[in-house]
Every structure is written in C-alpha cells, then in structure tokens.
Amino acid sequence: MTIDMTHGPPLRLLVRFSWPLLVGNVIQMAYSLADMVIVGRLLGEHALAAVGGVGSTLFAVLGFVFGITAGVSVLTAQRFGAGDPRGVRISVGTGVWVSAAIAAAVTVGCWLGTDAILRLLRTPADVFPLAHEYLAISFLGTPCMVFFNFQSATLRALGDSRTPLFFLAGASLLNVVLDVLFIKVFGMGVAGAAWATNAAILASALTCLLAVTRRLPELRLRPEDWRPRWRMACRQLAVALPMGLQFSVTALGAMVLQTAINSFGVAQMAGMTAARGVENVACQVPVALGQAMATYAAQNYGAGRLGRIRAGVRASVVVVFAVGVAMTALALLFGDCFVAAFLSERAPEMLAVGRRMLWVTAPFFVPLGLIFIFRNTLQGIGRSMLPMLAGVVEMAMRAGVALGLLRLLGVNAVYWGDPAAWVGAAALLLAAYCVYSRGWPHEREPEPCP
C-alpha cells in the first residue's frame, strides 16, 4: 500500500512508515548476525574473525550499490510527491539501467581484487584463506543485493515500506535454514554462510518482483518507459553517485580501523566484531527513522511543501534523543549478555574486548542517531554532495584518531575512532541542513519532471 506523505501529521506519518523499516532492518541485521553467530558456534573463533574481519569491506561495496539504488529512487519519490505518474515510470525504467550497469562493474572489479583487498587490510595469515573464500563468494552476490534493494527503494519512494518487510522476513528465515544446512550438514565452512546469504536474497528478490508487478499499477512500465532518458539518468547519477560514495567513504574509515584491529590479533578481531553487533542493534531506530525521513523529505520536496520537511526533522530529532539515551543505558547495563552471544564460553579475553569497546562507544549513540536523520533528509531533497563530504569527515576522524593515537593509547585508540567520527559527521550534517533550510518558503510550486 502506497502512502502520500505530503498530507497529515508528520510524526504520525513517520512512525507509520518507519516501523516496517525498523522491523526489516532488524531482520536484515539478524540474518547478517546469524552468519557470525552460526559461524562462531559451529566453526570457531578463527572463522568468526575471518567473517567479521571482512565486514567493513562488504559494507563499503554493498553500501555503495545500496546508495546507488537509494539515490535513483529519490527522483521517483519526488515525482510521486508531485503527482506525476508518468515521471514515476520514467524514473523507475531509467533507474533499472543505471543500477544494473553499476552493479555489474562493481561485482567484476571487486571479485577480481579480493586478494589485493585482504592484503591491504593486513589480514592475519591464520585467517586469510577463510576470509578470502567468504569475501569472494559474497562479492558474487552483489547483483542479487542490488536487485532486491532497487525494488525496496522504489517501493519506499512510493510510500510502501511494508511490502519489502514480508519478503525480507522470508529471506531471513531461508538464510538461517541454509546457513545450518550448508555449514553443518554439507560441511561447506564459511563458504556455506556466504552462499546461503546470496541464495536467500535472490529468492526474495524474484518473489518480490512477481508480487509487486501484479499489485502496483504505478510500477507496470510501458515499452516507452524502458527507454533510457539520458537527462533523467544524469539527474539520478548526480544524486546517487555521491550517496554511494558516501557509504563507501564511511566504510573506508572502518576498513582503516579494521587494519589497525587486525594488527592486534584474533582476540581483538573477534571481540570487536561482537561489540559492533551490539552497536548495530542500538542504532536501528534512528536508521529506520532516517530512511523514513528520506522518503518524507523527497515527496514533500517534490510537492513543494518545504515547511513540512522542517516539521518532520524536528519530530525526528526528539525521537532520536530519547531512543539514544535509552539504548546507551541498555548497552552499558546489558552489553555483556549481547557480546557473549557471539562467543564461546572459552573466550574470556574476547568478551573483555567487547565490553571495553562498548563502554567507549555507547555514550555517543545520540550523535550517531542524528547522522541518519540529517543525512537522509539532505539526500531526500537531492543534496547528496554534503552527506558525502560528511562521510569524508567521518573517515578522516575515524582513521586519524585510531592511527594517530595508536602509539600513545594502544588498542584504546581504535575504540575511540568511531565516537570521534560520529560527533564530527553529525556536526557537519546539522550545519548543512540549517544552511539549506534557512531560506525555504513554507510552500512553492512543484518542480517539473526532467
């Protein structure tokens, strides 16, 4: 069911739109964490370190193509908000070609460069073969991820956040079943975890395509809609490329951080992998609310209702502050329980690593949440260059603190890399939003279709 977010109370619309995103993000995170939990329990700490050690690399690559699919859908949301069904179809048809071309190039390039990537990360020799196997197979699944994410982003652009949830839930359940089947029954090791994720996402994408084309007439493209419009493609790329690069630049900072972590051995790799799993849980509400703000801002920007964007941002900031404080308290009180879920009882050193990292990062969950609100709002109005620059700041601060203070603080410098990056990026995005929104009229005429 599509939702027109240009009318009605902003907070109610955002909550209605974001709760399926929250559930979907938790499910998506769950089957990602399932890989780590199942691998750690069934294959041991070396396998867990191998899977966790390439997480930042996968985030860089998959984050790039995710940013591309989200970026091309911004114009779709703006045309939907402007009440332009033909513009919606043209945007979707052109977006298919743009997403497919970039996905193909990324898949081939990354798969061929797997060995070089792991060497740049200084992956320890004792986990290198496992990490190589897992990463190479995961890269082959990039087109499946693009296929599904493009459909999800298009549905969100039309105000439908529920349909992707059902198919993502199915993919999650299938992924867990295939994890156990491939690893425990077929003995495929870490390769089984990677193949399970690829297969689950592909199955979900195919079934989603069949269901969506039957239910939503807005997405039944006519032959002329499939013809690439170069002007539309350029507009989409102008928004999408900075969004994709922003994800990747942010992840590059995490990769630099991972390089420093790897130099401290398997215990630090596994312990910090577990702690970051807890951080991912803590930021799920701001992530979902930020995704809702992207669609909300895009539709209202397309409709010319700029005053409603400011009202939505104010409501979202209040929610992020409340949730951030609550999640900080929970992480500090019960973080050990979550960290222990990833590790065996014979890993007290790794548990201590995860605990120490959470005590550093958890107090900064509020600025982390604000990043998602302001970044997605700016991207929704088509201003994706500044969020990309904020990603550069995030990378620089993360790497600068972690590496610059490494000799002075040792591994504790690595723990402080993330909080420094969050504070720097949040401050820049807040300033950028204030500059852009300061001169907005309450309403203006909708923009014409490019």
State the Cα–Cα distance between residues 28 and 20, nearest whole angstrom.
12
Look at residue 341 and tell me whether its pLDDT is greater than 70.
no
Amino acid at 367: P
For 331, the token pair is 């992480």
Look at residue 448 and tell me whether its pLDDT is greater than 60.
no
**In this predicted structure, which of 59-73, 184-198, 207-221 has the lowest mean pLDDT?**
207-221
Task: For residue 177, count other CB atoms closer than 10 A to its CB.
Answer: 12
pLDDT recorded at residue 322 = 93
Contacts of 449 (CB under 8 A, 6+ apart): 79, 82, 84, 86, 87, 90
Contacts of 116 (CB under 8 A, 6+ apart): none
pLDDT recorded at residue 224 = 81
Mean pLDDT of 375-399: 82
Look at residue 313 and tell me whether its pLDDT is greater than 90.
yes
Look at residue 346 and tell me whether its pLDDT is greater than 60.
no
Contact between residue 413 and residue 405 where contact means Cβ atoms under 8 Å apart: yes
Burial pattern 62-97, b for ≥16 Cβ within 10 A else e, equals bbbbbbbbbbbbbbbbbbbbbebeebbbbbbbbbbb
What is the reported pTM? 0.77
Mean pLDDT of 36-47: 73
Q: How far is CA 11 from CA 8, 318, 319, in A?
A: 9, 10, 10
pLDDT recorded at residue 33 = 67
What is the chain's mean pLDDT, rounded? 81
**Bigger pLDDT: 356 vs 422:** 422
pLDDT recorded at residue 34 = 67
pLDDT-derived band of residue 371, with 50, 70 and 90 as boundaries? very high
State the Cα–Cα distance between residues 446 and 179, nearest whole angstrom.
49
pLDDT over 70, % of the chain = 86
pLDDT-derived band of residue 250, with 50, 70 and 90 as boundaries? low
pLDDT-derived band of residue 314, with 50, 70 and 90 as boundaries? very high
Q: Chain-centre distance of CA 210, in angstroms?
A: 25
